Amino acid sequence: MSDIVSTLKILKRRFPNPGAMELGSPYQNLVGVMLSARTRDEQVLKLMPGFWNAFPTVEKLAKATTTQIESKINTIGMYRQKAKNLKKMAIDVVSNFGGKIPSTMEDLVSLAGVGRKTASVVLVCSFDKTAIAVDTHVFRVTNRLGWIKSKTVEDAEKKLLEMVPSKYHQTVNRVFVKLGRYICIRSPRCWACPVREQCAFNKKNLVAPKNANEILEDMDRREKILETLRENAT
């Protein structure tokens, strides 16, 4: 337990920014995460100001036509399916939940286009609830660290929920996505990893390449761009 907490504290110092889709209200967080499925966060954040302008509330989104929604999100992948899901989600929220984004896992996953991962992000970011959203980054990094040995996302989520104190669930969602995006990539940059001493991975890549400084500068630049986009996206 102390290893888990100390690892998370180190990572929180290295990656202090909120998650890219922590946009403010539950409505904004939910829409952001729904749009970000299999899409780069930067692309989603760029279209957000125009989206909020057109659909500032879930009621406005419910009344919009699918074509109107598509026209605001057609720069990202799977936008037709995402537009359909957004409209259905908004209608459900208005008719079944009085226009308020629900705050339980059961209710959230009843909405169109909302799976456990999306629901977990909303629960932890919007409602301060216990939840861990296991995406590809969280799955890879926590297996490499040796926290879990899981072959499926479902098993990883169950184990992580048992082992990580609930106070740190939001931190898990924030820092592992960033560690996985910049450092613990497919061929990991262990030489740049702030938790390499805490990591159990047996194929660590500890030799920094000649262009290490450039890589580090690029990570910082990308993170700054993302944070600026996030701040401007609400």
Query: Can residue 156 be called a binding residue for ligand SF4 (CB under 6 A)?
Result: no
Which long-range contacts does 197-200 make (Cβ < 8 Å, 24+ apart)?
198/3, 198/6, 198/7, 198/10, 198/145, 199/144, 199/145, 199/146, 200/144, 200/145, 200/146
Query: Can residue 158 be called a binding residue for ligand SF4 (CB under 6 A)?
Result: no
Query: Can residue 58 be called a binding residue for ligand SF4 (CB under 6 A)?
Result: no
Q: Where do the DSSP E strands lie in the chain?
A: none
User: How far apart, in whole angstroms, are the C-alpha atoms of residue 174 and residue 49?
Assistant: 23
47 in Cβ contact with 73 (< 8 Å): yes
Site string for ligand SF4, 105-144 (x = CB under 6 A): ------------------------------------x--x
Query: What is the nearest approach in angstroms of ligand SF4 to the Cβ of residue 134?
Result: 16
Query: What is the nearest approach in angstroms of ligand SF4 to the Cβ of residue 37?
Result: 24
Query: What is the nearest approach in angstroms of ligand SF4 to the Cβ of residue 204?
Result: 5
> In whole angstroms, how far apart are CA 168 and each of 47, 128, 148, 161?
30, 11, 17, 10
Which of positions 168-187 make contact with ligand SF4 (CB under 6 A)? 183-184
Catalytic residue from among 135, 155, 158, 178: 135
State yes or no: is 224 an active-site residue: no
Torsion of CA 120, 140, 218, 169, to 10 degrees: 30
User: How far apart, in whole angstroms, are the C-alpha atoms of residue 40 and residue 10?
Assistant: 26
- Region binding ligand SF4 by CB under 6 A among candidate stretches 21-29, 40-48, 78-86, 193-201: 193-201
Query: Can residue 188 be called a binding residue for ligand SF4 (CB under 6 A)?
Result: yes
Judged by CB under 6 A, the number of residues near ligand SF4 is 14
Nearest to 161 by CA among 123, 193, 112, 194: 123
Query: What is the nearest approach in angstroms of ligand SF4 to the Cβ of residue 175?
Result: 11
Catalytic residue from among 72, 87, 117, 178: 117
- Region binding ligand SF4 by CB under 6 A among candidate stretches 42-50, 91-99, 116-124, 195-203: 195-203
Nearest to 23 by CA among 170, 125, 103: 125
Query: Can residue 229 be called a binding residue for ligand SF4 (CB under 6 A)?
Result: no
State yes or no: is 117 an active-site residue: yes
Q: Could you please report the per-residue DSSP string of 32-70?
A: HHHHTTTS-HHHHHHHHHHHHHH--SHHHHHHS-HHHHH
Active site members: 117, 135
- Give me the residues that bind ligand SF4 (CB under 6 A), please: 141, 144-145, 183-184, 188-190, 193, 195-196, 199, 201, 204
